[in-house]
Structure 1
Amino acid sequence: MLAEGEPGKGGRKLPSDRAILGRLFRKIFRILFRVAATFVIGSITLTLIYRFVDPPITPLMLIRPLEGLGSGKVVGVSKEWISIDEVDPDLLKSIIAAEDARFFDHGGIDWKAVEAAQKYNEKHKGEKVRGASTITMQCARNVFLWQGRNYLRKGLETWFTYLIEFLWGKKRILEVYINMIEWGDGIYGVEAAAQEYFSVSARELTPRQAALLAAVLPNPRRWSPAEPTPYITKRATTITKGARVVRITPLKGEKEPEPSPKETKESGKKKSQRK
């Protein structure tokens, strides 16, 4: 039996264990580097494509029908894309008020909200966990990833969150979000939701209808905007009040001053008169 470094057949020395391990680690590193490079290039390319091309489908749209098969329930996909410029402004304001009040102020992740949620959860251990998911984070998760809670998915969610913030901008993020988010079994996007629950287009929603649609977003498969529970009714009222002070002019590249108390009050009266 030959020892390490002794000549083998043909006079060549046998490689040492250290040399073998070194080659193995280098091979593994090359493989991992190629996988990482492929993922980075692929994800950037796909994100750039979706900046100009509307996403045709999401992972969740594929997962839900499979879940339905397992339970003997047929789940289809109902969705219809609508430009953000055509959506009733009350809906955009309601969604921002309900899901991410600091949407225009953060860079994808609201670290102030994250810190506040951590403090709350530490103080209220054993109770329902409070999250700090932004519209950007939800959009990244809905378009590119699967549902669930694990470190891999959270890491990928963070990557895609900053990616779409950088490559898309706020207007495109909100447009994709309202068109791809789940609003009930097999219902995706605000246009399909508006037609399903209120028999109107998302262009014609009243402030109350917009608030009800936004109110069910934490769990749209449990709650219905058309048949709101007392909790959803109360939540929709709160959202309506919050929506009055939401400004969506940044979507048009404009700046608008904060409303005065008088303007807010008058705006509320006008909206309450709409049908």
Structure 2
Amino acid sequence: MKAVLRWLGLLVFAFVALQLFFVLRIAAMVVMNPESTSFQRSEAWVQVAASGQVRWRQEWVPYGEISEHLKRAVIASEDDGFANHDGVDWVAIEKAWERNAKAEAQAAKTQARAPDRPQRAPKIRGGSTITQQLAKNLLLSGERTLLRKGQEFVLTLLLEQLLSKERILEIYLNSVEWGEGVFGAEAAAQHYFRKSASRLGPSEAARLAVMLPAPKRFEKTPGSAYLAGRTRTILARMNSAELP
């Protein structure tokens, strides 16, 4: 019994120590820019394993030097309640669950009608906020488990408590992936439009925002009809996007 209690004590200590480590790292980001994210490092390892080389283009720019159009476009596309929620958008999560349930039910009906025909897996949509995406990419692995999701939730709350909304958006825009080895708004603006992030126009900003869910795929298919149509949709929403 003592051995079990000892192991439980060690597990609790390890958990608390890990949370303290995260608190200190996030607190440091009030004044220090993160050199890299967990996602960026994992992508670098993938590149090394595949080709022995690392493509990593990133240049940090302050919040005030990022086009307001890009800020509005990303909020309109990824998290239209960013300025007002506490890190988790429960309404968006509920809607995502409903959409996913309908998609899975429709897929099951299609499979029942044509059991021998190959079926495409239903498209699963998430309800993650910008803060949740940052928590995941900044400090966590890419595995999908309940334990990791729980840790993501804790980190999301810590980010919201320790950093301002502007700082969260600044770190997100400077670290998010926008293509193969392309990270952050400045690198994306230079890569796709040969201009700085501060000079991005509304259409360019909307196009970059639309790429975020699948940047590598859209980088290879710049003429995609979906990309063009979705860009027009985000353009129409940008003026109503609330900045922090």
Specify every segment of 5 or more residues in structure 1 that has no aligned partner in the other structure, as ranges: 1-20, 252-275
Q: Does 1:145 align with 2:133?
A: no
For 2:14 and 2:52, locate their aligned partners in 1 and report how far apart those are by CA, in whole Å: 38
Instruction: Determine which structure has greater relative contact order: mean sequence separation of CA pairs < 8 Å that are 6+ residues apart, divided by chain length.
Output: 2
How many residues align? The count is 228
Structure 2 residue aligned with 1:203:
198
Once the two structures are superposed, what CA deviation does each residue of 1:4-55 show, in whole Å capped at 9, x if it has no partner? xxxxxxxxxxxxxxxxx2x112211221122022112111111100121000
For 1:121 and 1:174, locate their aligned partners in 2 and report how far apart those are by CA, in whole Å: 28
Aligned partner of residue 90 in structure 1, secondary structure: helix
Aligned partner of residue 51 in structure 1, secondary structure: coil
Q: Does 1:94 align with 2:94?
A: no
Q: Is the CA contact 1:75–1:185 (under 8 Å) kept in the aligned structure 2?
A: no
| Mean Cα deviation higher: 49-58 or 60-69 | 60-69
Structure 1 residue aligned with 2:3:
24
Structure 2 residue aligned with 1:243:
238
Aligned partner of residue 52 in structure 1, secondary structure: coil
- C-alpha deviation, 1:119, in angstroms: 1.6
Q: Is the CA contact 2:80–2:242 (under 8 Å) kept in the aligned structure 1?
A: no
For 2:96 and 2:181, locate their aligned partners in 1 and report how far apart those are by CA, in whole Å: 31
Name the % identity: 34
TM-score (norm 2): 0.89
- C-alpha deviation, 1:150, in angstroms: 1.5
Where in structure 2 are the equivalents of 1:40-55 lying within 5 Å? Answer: 40-55=19-34
Q: Is the CA contact 1:108–1:137 (under 8 Å) kept in the aligned structure 2?
A: yes
Q: Does 1:111 align with 2:90?
A: yes
Q: Does 1:58 align with 2:37?
A: yes
Specify every segment of 5 or more residues in structure 2 that has no aligned partner in the other structure, as ranges: 108-121
User: Where is the helix percentage greater, Structure 1 or Structure 2?
Assistant: 2
Q: Is the CA contact 1:91–1:205 (under 8 Å) kept in the aligned structure 2?
A: yes
- C-alpha deviation, 1:86, in angstroms: 1.4
Answer with 1 or 2: which has the greater Rg. Answer: 1
Misfit runs of 4+, over 3 Å: none
For 2:179 and 2:140, locate their aligned partners in 1 and report how far apart those are by CA, in whole Å: 19
Q: Which of residues 62, 80, 84 in structure 2 aligns to 1:83?
A: 62
Aligned partner of residue 183 in structure 1, secondary structure: coil
- C-alpha deviation, 1:152, in angstroms: 2.1
Once the two structures are superposed, what CA deviation does each residue of 1:91-133 show, in whole Å capped at 9, x if it has no partner? 1000000000111121111001111111221222142112101
For 2:215 and 2:62, locate their aligned partners in 1 and report how far apart those are by CA, in whole Å: 22
Structure 1 residue aligned with 2:184:
189
CA RMSD of aligned residues (A): 1.5
- C-alpha deviation, 1:75, in angstroms: 3.1
- C-alpha deviation, 1:65, in angstroms: 2.4
* Letter of the 1:85 counterpart: G
